[in-house]
Amino acid sequence: MTETSTHPAFTPPTRFAVPGRIVVNNRTAGMWQTATLTEIRRETPRASTFRFKVPKWAGHLPGQHLMLRLTAEDGYAAQRHYSIASAPDDSGHIELTLDHVEGGEVSGWFHSVAEPGDEVEVRGPLSGFFAWPGDRPALLIGAGSGVVPLMSMVRHHRARGLPVPLRMLVSARSPEELIYARELGAETTPVFTRSAPEGVPVARMAAAHVAPLLAEQPPGGWEAYVCGSNAFAEHASRLLVAGGQPVDRIRIERFG
């Protein structure tokens, strides 16, 4: 990656729909460091938030992720990418919210074994593509634990009192399974797919949910961030395109 000005960079005939938002610091992204678990908070029956002390954390932007590694006594290691849930701050702590995945060796350890004081390793933050620096109006659409990186954006927006508009549309099976339910405010519209509070319809996310948000285009237009399973991401991104959101203003983070 030492491209010099002697070569004009190749530009494909189609400009990439969604160029990266920030330059990633390759040095911090490449370094494994110890993260000490300091707190576990139950969010839903299936998801908990894990807070870590990471003294040398380089700082992140909302939407970025990290790689987490667990090592066993015999040297066997398992690593996974996780979105960062906490807003950037200078506390020397970061938070992850993890679903308990059936048979998941890493999430299983977190949900069954982990206690404050335990140590894991992390490297990051990684990838600038899904990052939101807080500069453009943000339209956030998530499902299930897809709300995690979006919540980092919501928290950042609040903590800094950012003037740009931010709205979130989040799908959950039921109110009990809505992660961060107590924290969500007027910026958020929840959609419940299996059971809903009285007076709220049970529905799959549909054009009718997206249309009112796309109708109130802020100056400069929405930058849309979609996060969830691939099936949800395909569905939500099609709703956005059909609703008139430009394809080059849709960023998608899919689980996998």
Partner 1 sequence: MNVSRGFTGRARVHHPGLPPGQYDAGDDWPVLSAEVTPELAPADWTFRIDGLVEQPRTWTWEEAHTLPASAYEGAIHCVTSWSKFGVRFGGVSLDAFLDVVRPHGSATHAVAYSHTGYTTNLPLADLAGGRAWIAWEYDGEPLPSEHGGPARLLVPHLYFWKSAKWIAGLRLLDHDEPGFWEQNGYHARGNPWEEQRYAGD
Residue 127 sits at the vertex; the CA angle it makes with 39 and 56, to the nearest 5 degrees, is 45
Nearest distance, CB of residue 33 and partner 1, angstroms: 10
16 binds partner 1 (CB under 8 A): yes
100 binds partner 1 (CB under 8 A): no
Between 78 and 159, name the residue whose CB sits nearer to partner 1: 78
- Given CA atoms 112, 118, 120, 124 in this order, what sign does their dihedral have? positive
Nearest distance, CB of residue 139 and partner 1, angstroms: 14
Between 158 and 249, name the residue whose CB sits nearer to partner 1: 249
Site for partner 1 in 107-126 (CB under 8 A): 109, 113, 118-121, 123, 126
Residue 203 near residue 193 (C-beta atoms within 8 A) = yes
Per-residue string for binding with partner 1, 178-207, x by CB under 8 A?
------------------------------
Per-residue string for binding with partner 1, 230-249, x by CB under 8 A?
x--xx--xx-xx-----x--
* Residue 221 amino acid letter: G
* Residues forming a β-bridge with 212: none
Torsion on CA atoms 196, 156, 33, 121, rounded to nearest 10: 0
How are beta strands 77-83 and 65-71 bridged, if at all?
Answer: antiparallel
Between 23 and 186, name the residue whose CB sits nearer to partner 1: 23
Between 103 and 201, name the residue whose CB sits nearer to partner 1: 103
Between 107 and 188, name the residue whose CB sits nearer to partner 1: 107
- Quick one: 199 exposed, middle or buried, by C-beta within 10 A (0-12, 13-18, 19+)? exposed
Candidate ranges 23-31, 181-189, 197-205, 214-222; the one touching partner 1 (CB under 8 A): 23-31
58 binds partner 1 (CB under 8 A): no
173 binds partner 1 (CB under 8 A): no
Query: Residue 145, CB half-sphere, CA atoms under 13 Å: how many?
Result: 21
5 binds partner 1 (CB under 8 A): no
251 binds partner 1 (CB under 8 A): yes
Binding-site size for partner 1 (CB under 8 A) equals 61
Between 136 and 158, name the residue whose CB sits nearer to partner 1: 136
Residues making contact with partner 1 (CB under 8 A): 1, 3, 7, 9-10, 12-20, 24, 26-27, 29-30, 34, 67, 70-81, 105, 109, 113, 118-121, 123, 126-130, 230, 233-234, 237-238, 240-241, 247, 250-256
